[in-house]
Structure formats: C-alpha cells, structure tokens
C-alpha cells in the first residue's frame, strides 16, 4: 500500500520552495522532512524541488530525475550542501535472482544516481543515498 502525506514545515524560513507542496510518499521521507525542519544544524532544505537530467538506458531517452532532498548543513564553521535520495536498502542493490522488472528499475536508478553524482560534483554538493540503515541506525 502506498503511503502519502503532506508535510508542512514548522520553520518555513528554512524551506526553499513552496512549503505547501511537500507531498511525502513514505514515512522515511516524512522523517527526513521533520529532521531537516527542526534540526538547528540544517540551514536550508527543500524536497523534490530540482530536476537533474539523465540518460535513461532502458528507453534511450533523456529524462529528469527529481532527487528527494537538497540540504544545507552547518558543519563546524562551514556549510555543506547535500543532495539526498531516500530508498529502502533492498532497492539499492541488485539481487542475483531479480525479476526483469527489478533489473530494469535497477538500471534506471543507477543512471539517475550517476547523473546526480555528476551534478553534485559540478555544484560542489555531496550525494547521499540514505537507507533504513542510515536513517534508523540509533534505533
């Protein structure tokens, strides 16, 4: 069953974009929204506000990848910019016995993530793929 919910930031001055258009498709995305919103080390953040062009190797077309988050994080005296994608761990690796659909999805995701990494290098960002391991490591 799909999960959808709106998130309205408490600290709207930190949000870059339309704070009324944050539509989370998972509890994990919602958790990251709340973390970004209330964490004092997060200077600015946005959810699904940019598009990164990528070549889709399955249909051989240029498509747009919309990463989940852009976040500016205070780290001591510096501010770092991160592009974050939230995915279940099982979607970040290809199983040996994967179905054709799973293999095609994997191929497309890898193309998206490579494009994101190139975008991040060009714009001095860090690309992070967060799974339940990183999101809930203290749980």
Residues catalogued as catalytic: 29, 68, 87
Q: How far apart are CA 87 and CA 63, in angstroms?
A: 20
Q: How far apart are CA 98 and CA 109, in angstroms?
A: 15
Single out the residue of 85, 64, 83 nearest to residue 73, CA to CA.
83
What residue spans of 15-135 are helical by DSSP H?
27-38, 100-123, 132-135
Q: How far apart are CA 34 and CA 31, in angstroms?
A: 5
Single out the residue of 75, 111, 107 nearest to residue 94, CA to CA.
107
């Amino acid at each position: 069953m799909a999960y959808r919910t709106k998130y309205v930031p408490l600290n709207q001055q930190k949000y870059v974009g339309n704070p009324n258009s944050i539509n989370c498709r998972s509890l994990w995305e919602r958790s990251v929204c709340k973390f970004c919103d209330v964490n004092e080390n997060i200077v600015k953040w946005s959810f699904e506000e940019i598009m990164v062009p990528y070549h889709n190797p399955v249909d051989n077309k240029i498509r747009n990848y919309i990463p989940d988050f852009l976040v500016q994080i205070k780290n001591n005296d510096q501010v770092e910019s991160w592009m974050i994608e939230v995915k279940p761990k099982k979607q970040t690796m290809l199983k040996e016995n994967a179905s054709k659909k799973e293999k095609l999805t994997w191929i497309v995701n890898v193309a998206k993530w490579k494009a994101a990494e190139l975008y991040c290098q060009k714009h001095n960002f860090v690309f992070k793929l967060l799974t339940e391991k990183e999101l809930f490591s203290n749980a």
